[in-house]
Amino acid sequence: MAAYFAMLKPGDKVMGLNLSHGGHLTHGSSVNFSGKTYHFIAYNVDAKTHRLNFDEIEKMAKEEKPALIVCGYTAYPRQVDFKRFREIADASGAKLMVDMAHIAGLIAGGAHPQPFPHADIVTSTTHKTLRGPRGAVILCKTEYAVPIDKAVFPGMQGGPLDHAISAKAVCFKEAMTPEFSAYAHKIVENARALGDSLSAEGLTLVSGGTDTHLLLVDLTGLKITGKEAQLALDEANITVNKNTIPYDTQSPFITSGIRLGTPALTTRGMGKSEMKEIGSMIARICRAPADKELQQKIKAEVLAMTNKFPLYPELG
């Protein structure tokens, strides 16, 4: 909100990725303040590859001449080419904002390319792959520093939450360590291993795989919805979320996909062999979502696995 307030006037034109193709509510959804305040135009992922099609995005930007282009996503499993986005922004006279909320930890750890020097402004949460407290941070080129500070205060925020600020400092310090970099790389390795396992089980991955911490599974081939899969997996203590897939024919409340991520399991110490097993568990449940006995059997496997990776071993 502060980034938009600093860079835009109400009614300005902005380009963001279609919400059902992996974009975020704050990237122009009509039920969100962003879509109500600014004139958002959505770009899509390619219908065949399910990846960003930069030639299409460039064509749209040159025609629409937005004030701002937003990239960085919520459910897009591939790396984002920030340099290409900069070229498109320059060619269309737009500013470039990168919302790295999901991938900030991968970027900090060197497991995903950097948004700077390409972006004018970078927003992030601190509670996703950055593994810190619930909150946010804005990075920007010097010229935007004063307008952003003003947008935050007096623009919208009251007194600061000092405990959250100190927790962010701890989070950033951790993210600077070699151990965090190793963690970031391990997250991606584990996501690839989980993807390989799901593919070997015959499940379809949106875009064919992942470069990041997350995977989107297209369930249309199994003839179950994302909602059914989520509920069936819950029964076995496997937590995923239903998620639209690009060009989904189901509503966002039902969906044709599920979204999976490896950061939490990687923090617990799990590796490739566990990912292989988890992929198999997910596939078995999705192939027989009504089989209650199978769900209980797999729940026992899940408990046996998680017991091997206790959350707070130091607490005994």
| Interface ranges with ligand PLP (CB under 6 A) | 24, 26, 72-74, 99, 101-102, 125
Distance, in Å, from the CA atom of 72 to the CA atom of 6, rounded to the nearest integer, reads 19
Please state the closest distance from residue 75 (CB atom) to ligand PLP, in A. 8
* Residue 88: closest CA among 113, 105, 112, 64: 64
Please state the closest distance from residue 275 (CB atom) to ligand PLP, in A. 23
Please state the closest distance from residue 103 (CB atom) to ligand PLP, in A. 9
Please state the closest distance from residue 109 (CB atom) to ligand PLP, in A. 18
For 156, the token pair is: 């919208």
Beta-sheet strand order (sheet of 136-140) = 39-43, 13-17, 68-71, 95-99, 121-125, 136-140
Phi, psi of 123 (to 5 degrees): -110, 155
Please state the closest distance from residue 40 (CB atom) to ligand PLP, in A. 14
Phi, psi of 59 (to 5 degrees): -60, -45
Question: Considering beta carbons, is residue 91 or 264 the nearer one to ligand PLP?
Answer: 264
Burial of 107-129, coded b for 16+ CB within 10 Å and e otherwise, reads bbbebbeebeebbbbbbbbbbbb
Question: Considering beta carbons, is residue 67 or 214 the nearer one to ligand PLP?
Answer: 214
With beta carbons less than 8 A apart as the criterion, state whether 6 and 152 touch.
no
Question: Considering beta carbons, is residue 74 or 266 the nearer one to ligand PLP?
Answer: 74
Please state the closest distance from residue 294 (CB atom) to ligand PLP, in A. 33
Please state the closest distance from residue 288 (CB atom) to ligand PLP, in A. 32
Question: Considering beta carbons, is residue 26 or 37 the nearer one to ligand PLP?
Answer: 26
Distance, in Å, from the CA atom of 110 to the CA atom of 184, rounded to the nearest integer, reads 7
Could you count the other beta carbons within 10 Å of the beta carbon of residue 143? 9
For 58, the token pair is: 């460039």
- List residues bridging with 68 in a β-sheet: 14, 95
Please state the closest distance from residue 73 (CB atom) to ligand PLP, in A. 6
Question: Considering beta carbons, is residue 88 or 97 the nearer one to ligand PLP?
Answer: 97
Question: Considering beta carbons, is residue 15 or 294 the nearer one to ligand PLP?
Answer: 15
- Amino acid occupying residue 125: T
Question: Considering beta carbons, is residue 125 or 225 the nearer one to ligand PLP?
Answer: 125
Residue nearest to ligand PLP (CB): 101
Inter-axis angle of helices 272-287 and 292-307, nearest 10? 170
Distance, in Å, from the CA atom of 216 to the CA atom of 21, rounded to the nearest integer, reads 11
Question: Considering beta carbons, is residue 69 or 232 the nearer one to ligand PLP?
Answer: 69
